[in-house]
Structure 1
């Protein structure tokens, strides 16, 4: 998702207002020349009973209807739901319950349920530890049976096969994905012997666990053999018909009308042909749920009128959504309005908001462009180019300000005044006013608003926490205790980045100049702490790389659990979700510690402003209002907490979610003496802990703003100093000169 817009930064800054290429094609391949017609997304009720059943599979019945299975394995029940004439018809798989009552072996959860053209259901259940999976079959109203399939019940090497999903072809053969051997095996329904084995790829999928199989209406079977390659087999002859080629990392859900194959991925709905690497986009992913980062298309079936039913899901809380894509010949082929959004890096909440906003406003297309770079890859040259474009009066309608020089944009008049907009917004709903009003304000006026935020916290030794209040207090502490490690098992990137973030205001003055004396002291303190903690040796022993640190974030140490062994140190964390609380709060619970805020900081995420020169300010504000609505704020993304007060209160519902209850704990690492250490503790977050975090969130008033250009200049040269390739004088001079020049611009 983060690299789907493959533009250079210079091209991005032009930000053409023309809408993207929706082709307006139906399944018959006829393009509409009238300027009318495109696919639209509609909601379909998801019938699985929340809290009672768990989704198993989504396929097509022999009558061509959407068919869904759900299980309640604690009660040994499976429900069959068929979508007939706009309504779900429910049937219980009575044969399965009877098998259980008759003494079927103890089972784990149901992994998959499939149905053949003659109405026979096949159920795959996870075996208990050290036992093979259990497969049984039967028909509603008839007796069921447990199948003794040699490939399943006999060990391969020292392990049984792990069946992750299956399909039943028109000949009745069972195609099963075997995770352990990376195979798709074909089993005869009559003899239960293996007919054929073919390569299948590993892929962590929200529906089946690993890998995907799909079948076409002509009896063809698609097997995802490797990343970007699906082999197509004829079910009757079992011979290869050819292959479908996709982009690496795309992993689409597939279906076929017998002539064409159709793929649903983040790119949209595409028509593809065997043997060709060309695909025709029938619906742009930006116009539907497939473009949302939270969800992935797991299963798709084709209706009788060139329509598509797609089931989406995501692992976090076993959340599923069913959509119907119908061709509307009367709607404009291209939305009449186009709103452009630009951010240096991607943002999941913005993408999720875009999809829902477009669905509610079919006459609007929202184009979201990014540099195609991760936060850590953005350079000062990238930002200079952007600044030139924006300050000249051009650019996108809506600007995502994360990593940009926010104060400079306000000073230059690039951002529209959102004070009145904010007043109207907060008059309608209850927001965390401290977060909204302090992020981008000048002289009492508000110029941008965050759509999410994170809470940096610190815990550990009170003495160390006090020492970290300022550069001077940290220097005094190390003068008093020259061998102190400050942090338990830190990596040097954590020390480098955390301390600069803590003391940013001491280093970079409000006049835009770098305090070289303070910077020198900071770099020397960083070197001292790294030496005391033995960061180089620790990183080498545990194979820690900077790539990991980029994903972990400024406030997260690779070995935050180390404070359990060294309680006289301090640790930090940045809370962006309820699941993100589990590890640091588990540590604090183990040591009877409590979190405190860091300098009253909060980290605004998705800071959205409106371009003062936009000709669509009203539409831009409407989009911003939607991003701050309950519909978007209530969707929990790992990138941040909601700024809407009601949505913050809704976080309590996550405490008892299936996902939270499924989390496990434990870390294994190598200690100073070369021994392997394992630390385990309870993971559950308590309501009291969450309440404390929510109370803290209402007291934070100081936004943590990262100018990626200054940040990058510091990181590059501080790293050279810490690795010993330049001395402290050169590091200070280079950072100051480059940062001062950039800030003066």
Structure 2
């Protein structure tokens, strides 16, 4: 059916569309979408907004790979059971209210490298179908469930078997991207391949059906459309690029950070984290149908498998959430709902993160009439420093324009508490207080009051021979133990680590011991930098190690902080399997990393333990504080209450939840998996990351329960230490000058 009528008027200029739609849940005129007009009077009385529902998928299917609305109006999807491997064709005639699941005669699939469904219901599956071969093949499944094998002869990739990144049915042809980042058109009748849009060779990340055009997502995150009949690239729509920021990631189980609908003619609907948009592939305005900020689409860890426009007021989005669960999200336009939520709270964070957005999304799903306005101090798109951002925040707070809820990470929280800017939130967390990790809660209790509390936390660990691990009570003893081991074994002991990763890990283990006075901090920083230098130079005498480190340094120097959690040494731990090093250290930021540690231990031997166990410290992640201003806002208090519930924290995908019930559910729900990678010399390294045994779970839990002290979290102080520390390790300044510069700037910052 044509989407031209009822999709929203095409008269608003894109600037107006963007400014209005970012503030409102739906946009357009009353005739076309039940929305609102844009004059001042109607804005204050506006009604009409898309509301989100989750439509349950059939219990037989745990992984859904693709979906489309067929030409007969039926929505068809394809998926399988993780437990049995059985494959199913799903159909619904009422937008997912009721599904029909039909099991087909299954074929073995050792990987799904691309799945797409044509408008007539034909399913194409690219993947590996033989246990004794890694060659990718193609299977066609008819609407009736009949299976046909189609030859797929891809060119070689680095002299090895090639793979498809993804595939897309457009009309009666299949378009695919392979590992050389080239696009091919495939005739499913005979498997004939021919190059498509060769001018884009090497620049392509993925292809999608966009109406009757092919949407091409480039490696630089721009999107262009190509005429499927001629291969001609249409003129780039500059307005379209504004909704895309970073299209990396995804591509697991056919999921992506953006997806397109296979509408008729030259029209498509786009889903991404910013919402749902309509665009003509031939150019023109980009219209926002749904603002992602007020629904769960804004969760940056969610990836999209399909988007379907049922009609102008109903949309279906198939996605996988941060925990790997497949979702069918249904959006229906309710003309009686307020165009924007009637209540609002503001949450400020120095940096954005998936965990923060997951918390906001969960809260808004539970409270659809409350809009959470997220304010981010460091966007990463300008030259604003942490110091600049904190000064701007302080100015707003003093002017009475501060937020209701503060994400305390990186901020000078103690000063805010002393000045009465943050208020006690014991009452708000009292309902879940008994579910918390008691040691983490106690670390933030002051005279029975709680002014801040992290949603999650993590710590630093050391891995290696058992005698080495016993000596990691502090970082100085650990360095001595590594040096002793090197002399005894006469082999490479310490991994090649970039200065930033080494400094970050040691900081997380050691900074809580530095004290608070200027002299204490100076002495602590000096010992910390001396130890870092000793480890940085250890086993760096080989030319190949120096070259590898230079590449690491260059890569990490170009990476900007984005507020997300990354392990600082997981790859170095893998080196224990290949014999590149005997020991390693890392930040332990997820349960999966614990699985990896045990998987590596099974092959390399040894054990792991808390780094700095003499003074067991932890790193708080996404701490929340209730502003004194927010105490007057019932919705801000409800936000705090909700954030610490087990249900909310189960939806978070990083670090360890402070709610112990959520932690226990996560740890018992882990799935085993295999890890494989290629070493620097081309050798294959693999291990099995199994579910944690009861004794392994107990060991981890006891370690986490023993943590007592948060590390220094002030972003300005941390950056000062990292900046001077990197210069010292790379021999661009002396130890004395680095320590003096850190001390001087810290004293100046604290005195402001």
TM-score with structure 1 length normalisation?
A: 0.81
Match of residue 304, structure 1, among 301, 304, 311: 311
Matches within 5 A, 1:70-149: 70-71=79-80, 78-85=87-94, 87-90=97-100, 92=102, 96=105, 108-109=110-111, 116=118, 120-128=122-130, 129=133, 131-140=135-144, 145-147=148-150, 149=151
Structure 1 residue 273: Cα displacement:
3.1
Q: Please give the secondary structure, in 2, of the residue aligned with 1:211.
A: strand
CA distance in 1 between counterparts of 2:169 and 2:469 reads 61
Aligned: 1:211 with 2:206: yes
Aligned: 1:545 with 2:547: no
Matches within 5 A, 1:343-492: 343-373=349-379, 378-391=385-398, 393-426=400-433, 430-438=435-443, 440-460=444-464, 469=473, 487-492=494-499
Other-structure match for 1:67: 76
Aligned: 1:176 with 2:170: no
CA distance in 2 between counterparts of 1:73 and 1:581 reads 23
Other-structure match for 2:32: 28
Other-structure match for 1:593: 607
CA distance in 2 between counterparts of 1:203 and 1:435 reads 47
Matches within 5 A, 1:503-514: 503-507=510-514, 509-511=515-517, 514=520
Matches within 5 A, 1:182-261: 182-188=181-187, 193=192, 197-199=196-198, 211-216=206-211, 219-224=212-217, 227-233=221-227, 244=237, 245-246=240-241, 247-250=244-247, 252-255=258-261, 256=263, 258=265, 260-261=267-268
1:71/1:78 contact within 8 Å kept: yes
Q: Structure 1 56/529 Cα, relative in aligned 2: closer, same or farther at 3 Å? A: closer
Q: Please give the secondary structure, in 1, of the residue aligned with 2:311.
A: coil
Partner deviation per Cα, 1:181-209 (whole Å, 9 max, x = no partner):
544444446566457723578899xxxxx
TM-score with structure 2 length normalisation?
A: 0.80
Other-structure match for 1:10: none
Other-structure match for 1:281: 288
Aligned: 1:644 with 2:659: yes
CA distance in 2 between counterparts of 1:398 and 1:234 reads 50
CA distance in 2 between counterparts of 1:305 and 1:474 reads 63
Q: Structure 1 517/600 Cα, relative in aligned 2: closer, same or farther at 3 Å? A: closer
2:302/2:319 contact within 8 Å kept: yes
Other-structure match for 1:331: 337
1:222/1:231 contact within 8 Å kept: yes
* Number of aligned residue pairs: 689
CA distance in 2 between counterparts of 1:488 and 1:411 reads 43
Match of residue 53, structure 2, among 16, 24, 42: 42
Other-structure match for 1:613: 629
Partner deviation per Cα, 1:118-163 (whole Å, 9 max, x = no partner):
555555453432545133454528x65434x5xx247569677644
Aligned: 1:628 with 2:644: yes
Partner deviation per Cα, 1:354-380 (whole Å, 9 max, x = no partner):
122222222211011212356999533
Partner deviation per Cα, 1:604-638 (whole Å, 9 max, x = no partner):
21110011123643211201111112222112413
CA distance in 2 between counterparts of 1:181 and 1:265 reads 25
Match of residue 702, structure 1, among 705, 709, 714: 709
Other-structure match for 1:15: none
Other-structure match for 2:251: none
Q: Please give the secondary structure, in 1, of the residue aligned with 2:430.
A: helix
Structure 1 residue 707: Cα displacement:
1.2
CA distance in 2 between counterparts of 1:503 and 1:367 reads 36
Structure 1 residue 312: Cα displacement:
0.8
| Structure 2 unaligned blocks of 5 or more | 1-20, 248-256
2:35/2:49 contact within 8 Å kept: no
Structure 1 residue 353: Cα displacement:
1.8
Structure 1 residue 402: Cα displacement:
0.6
Structure 1 residue 392: Cα displacement:
5.3
Name the stretch that deviates more: 722-731 or 619-628: 722-731
Partner deviation per Cα, 1:269-301 (whole Å, 9 max, x = no partner):
122233547422222111122211221222111
Aligned: 1:321 with 2:323: no
CA distance in 1 between counterparts of 2:745 and 2:376 reads 25
CA distance in 2 between counterparts of 1:680 and 1:493 reads 27
